[in-house]
Chains A and B, each alone.
Chain A
Amino acid sequence: MKPTEGGGALGLFDEARVVGVVLKKELVLYLRYPVWVLFDALMPLLWVLSLVIYGRALVGSPYSENLARLANTGDYVSFTIVGMIVSSFAYSTLWGMSYALRGEQWSGTLESTFLAPCSRFSILLGKAFSSMLTTSLWVFLQISLVSLVFGLNVKFLNLPFAMLFFLVALPSFIGIGFSLAGVVLDFKEHSAFVNFLSSLLGLLLPISYPLSVLPPVLRYFSYLLPPTYAIEGMRSLLIMDSGLNEVMGLAVPLIFFDVFWLSAGIMIFAREERRVLKKGTLGYY
């Protein structure tokens, strides 16, 4: 990994160790706030619950004829839950990485962190992976609970393929996270920006409805977002029992997004970092 300004020239193995150490530190910090841990574990269940109860109010049963016509499955409970799971990973990247450096700024530790002789991206990756690890744990807990309560109809045999498909989507999520981390580094106040993006994603991503119900203009914007393909692909594998070859059409744009967002993310972060270092505002609150 190429060393950045102020960073040392570490080998790939050492950089991987940095990622591991940052991940561990973030997990220790996370577990120090048990109320937040409890919140993260339970709240997404309530969010899903309100969507599922709303669905029941609309159709009166767990099956929608109209959804079956639009999306090849009328089981809106499983449809919504798979959408929520994939989108929660997208959100955790957005919040996790944009908050990562801002959190260091709040604690006054950003400058010391940047002085460490390693690549900034190893630090960012460690933070992103810790946020994804906790999300994975909670998603697992939520799937178990939801399966128990609502009877989730998911093809568990396709789970390894779904995870493989998710791995294809992951680099693009991380690339977007890098870009956000860079922007927040310079503009500081991230909550309005990330809140806006989260709300926009909530509208554009096909979480509780198929893309076909969106007005055409919104649908085009939705096609520009990597999580859209991730949701559609994982839904096909987990609910519609599609094979890997059937979701290849969705994997191709994802690979394109991976290359695009990783390059853009690294470039944006490096540029913002240079700007902040030049302005001398790195540790500013």
Chain B
Amino acid sequence: MKLDAASMILELKAAVSTARKEILINLRYPLWVVFWAIMPIFWLAPFVFQGHALVGGRLSESFRELAGSSDYVTFTIIGSSLYAYVMSALWGTGLSLRREQWGGTLETILIAPCSRFSILFGKALSDSVLTTFYAAVQFALASLLFGARIRVENLFFAVSAVLLMILALYGIGLILSGLILMYREPGALLNFVDTLIYTVCPVNYPLRTLMLFFGGVGYYVAMVSIVFPLTPALEAVRAFLLPSFNPYLNVAIALSYLAAVTLVFLTLGMLLFSVVEKKVRRRGAVEAY
């Protein structure tokens, strides 16, 4: 990939065209669009109802001790809205090249006179645009149904943290794209990573709960959790939006860490993808189903 201004503009155009194509294809399946916009509410609601069953209201004293805020409803609404980006990185970007393989169009795409990363970036960009729409609908619907109480004045800072997380997730998407191109059958791998992230990251419960629940081992589980960009992003976003939230990671540390993992995951993703692509081409297995 050339680094002069003219080439960069052309690569950017390739990425935007890919993103447009992907969005267009997605909009051709309106049922799926409705599904992804509304279904996350069905996944969030059981947690709200479980909360009501266990504590009898929307405030929990134990939650306040662990997270500073006793409002577990807003806590989980923020968590599930951000989790949508993880699902998009896994099932969208991660699977994007596999879908081209299924459609028999991967070889054609790989011989296009542009960088592979522009194509992958375009696919990730379309996922981010669609996910932002889904997350916004989900947040609005959840707030309407369950009542989210956030500090609107900090929304700009929260969105900035989310943007940083999206970049880090692009890196994870690249890593998964490479692995799936190499090993083909992605279902089990994606399901495993998805469930692992959901369990160890503070989507529905504060990070300190891991220490309370697992005892001494909890600290190490929390360290595993912090490897995923979702954890520092959730800590930062909740610190900005959730009144009286007491993060496990200081906001400045969370943001610096997020910037660092963004760099690491993007570099690692690009390196891994380049190596895998060369290997797969040499084996002549680009289009092998």
Contact = CB atoms under 8 A, between A and B. Distances in A.
Interface of A: 33, 35-36, 38-39, 43, 46-47, 49-60, 64, 66-67, 69-71, 76, 192, 195-196, 199-200, 202-203, 207-210, 213-214
B248 interface: no
By size class, the interface of chain B is 35 or more
B35 A39 contact: no
A199 B32 CA distance: 14
Among the interface residues A33, A52, A213, A214, which one has the most CB atoms of the partner chain B within 10 A? A213
Contacts of A54: 47, 50, 204-205, 209
B50 A55 contact: yes
User: Which 4 pairs across A and B sit closest by C-beta, in order of nearness?
Assistant: A60-B62, A209-B53, A57-B205, A66-B56
A46 B56 contact: no
Contact of A36 (B31, B39, B62, B188): B188
Given A35-B188, A47-B195, A53-B205, A58 B54 contact: yes
A195 B35 contact: yes
A203 B188 contact: no
A213 B62 CA distance: 20
Contacts of A202: 42-43, 46
A59 B53 contact: no
Given A47-B195, A57-B62, A60-B62, A67 B42 contact: no
9 contacts: A53-B205, A56-B205, A58-B60, A60-B62, A60-B65, A66-B56, A202-B43, A208-B49, A208-B53
A137 to B, nearest CB: 18
A57 B63 contact: yes
Contacts of A39: 188, 191-192
Contact of A192 (B32, B62, B66): B32
Contacts of B63: 57-58
B195 A64 contact: no
Contacts of A214: 49
Contact of B187 (A36, A50, A76): A36
A195 B31 CA distance: 12
Given A66-B53, A202-B42, A196 B35 contact: yes
A53 B187 contact: no
A67 B191 contact: no
- The prevalent SS among residues of A at the interface is helix
Contacts of A213: 49, 52-53
A6 to B, nearest CB: 31
Given A64-B55, A66-B54, A208-B46, 11 more contacts: A46-B198, A54-B47, A54-B209, A57-B66, A57-B204, A60-B61, A64-B53, A70-B53, A76-B54, A196-B35, A208-B49
A203 B188 CA distance: 25
B21 to A, nearest CB: 22
B68 interface: no
B243 interface: no
Contact of B212 (A60, A67, A203, A209): A60
A284 to B, nearest CB: 17
Contacts, number: 115
Interface of B: 31-32, 35, 39, 42-43, 45-47, 49-56, 60-63, 65-67, 72, 185, 187-189, 191-192, 195-196, 198-199, 204-206, 209-210, 212-213
Nearest to A202: B46
A71 B53 CA distance: 9
Contact of A53 (B67, B191, B195, B213): B213
A57 to B, nearest CB: 4
A252 B244 CA distance: 51
Nearest to B29: A192
Contacts of A36: 187-188
A46 B55 contact: no
Nearest to B32: A192
A195 B212 contact: no
Contacts of B72: 57-58
Contact of B199 (A50, A70, A76, A200): A50
A203 B46 contact: yes
A35 to B, nearest CB: 4
Given A66-B55, A67-B54, A53 B42 contact: no
Given A60-B62, A60-B212, A67-B53, A192 B31 contact: yes
Contacts of B196: 46
Nearest to A61: B62
Contact of A195 (B39, B46, B54): B39
B22 to A, nearest CB: 18
B62 A58 contact: yes
Contacts of B32: 192
